[in-house]
Amino acid sequence: MMRAGAHPGIMKVWHKVTRFRSDLRGVAAVEFALIVPILLIMYFVTMEASQAVETSKKVGRIGSMVADLVTQQPTITKADIDAIMRIGTVTLQPYNRSDPTITVTAVQLTSDATPVAKVVWSRKLVNGVASAGPTSTTIPATLNVAGTFLIRVDSYLGYEPVITWAAGSQQKLGLITAFDDISMNETYYLRPRRSLTIPCSDC
């Protein structure tokens, strides 16, 4: 509180300071500017986390679905395998920011005392393009049974969050540019359903 007889200039400054302190008109705007970025971050993190979990489940579903379709065939061709793998990619919809890699491998275990896993045929789908797959593979110890035939399906996806950005992309928000893809993968094994083996006539 200013005493009586104070200099008029000081009184004028004092009144301005008092008026500024009592003016609350800008408080809401300042609070809004501080809170909105936090709310937006929370929204995008929640949205992205739920979509990532759902996409990861779909990547696992690719393996089980492709293996199930392949093992229902008594014989198969390259065209059949490639078509089944492309059906598998549709499982990821509506996610479409990156393409999955799918590998289907037919494995014959030898009848030796210590079975050896040999690749009978293999096909892979990378960025929508099908080609020959790997010529060697490994089998978990629990499935390493002499004389058995297995279909192994590997599904992989480099998950790209919607908040990331890449050159030429029109499906992302572009909020973060330095963010690595999240690796999602699953390996699924099944035995033939209708025959002891599944030969591929042109693989």
Identify the domain containing residue 146 by its residue range: 24-190
Which is more confident, 144 or 43? 144
Tens digit of each residue's pLDDT (9 = 90 or more) over 7-52: 566 666 666 666 666 656 666 777 778 888 888 888 878 888 888 8
For the segment 130-139, the average pLDDT, to the nearest whole number, is: 92
Evaluate whether residue 7 is within a structural domain: no
Please indicate, yes or no, if residue 12 is contained in any of the structural domains.
no
- In a domain, residue 15? The reply is no
Each residue's pLDDT tens digit, 96-109: 888 999 999 999 99
pLDDT surpasses 80 at 77 = yes
How many domains does one find in the chain? 1
Question: Is 201 buried (19+), middle (13-18) or exposed (0-12) by CB count in 10 A?
Answer: exposed
- The pLDDT assigned to 76 comes to 95
Is residue 2 very low, low, confident or very high in pLDDT (cuts 50, 70, 90)?
very low
The average confidence (pLDDT) of the chain is 83
Considering only residues 31 and 177, tell me which one the structure prediction assigns the higher pLDDT: 31
* Range with lowest mean pLDDT among 39-48, 134-143, 147-156: 39-48
Domain-located, residue 199: no
Question: Within a domain: residue 203?
Answer: no
Q: Which residues are CB-neighbours of 178 under 8 A, at least 6 positions away? A: none
Under a CB-based contact definition with an 8 Å cutoff, are residues 172 and 97 in contact? yes
Please give the residue that has the higher pLDDT: either 165 or 160.
160
**By mean pLDDT, which of 38-52, 106-120, 130-144 is the weakest?**
38-52
Q: How far apart are CA 153 and CA 159, in angstroms?
A: 19
In a domain, 4, yes or no: no
- Tell me how far apart the alpha carbons of residues 122 and 59 are, in angstroms, rounded to a whole number: 20
pTM of the model: 0.74
CB atoms within 10 A of CB 182: 15
Lowest-confidence range among 21-25, 67-71, 91-95?
21-25
Residue 8 lies in a domain: no
pLDDT confidence tier of residue 6, bands split at 50, 70 and 90: low
Query: Mean pLDDT, to the nearest integer, of 160-167?
Result: 66
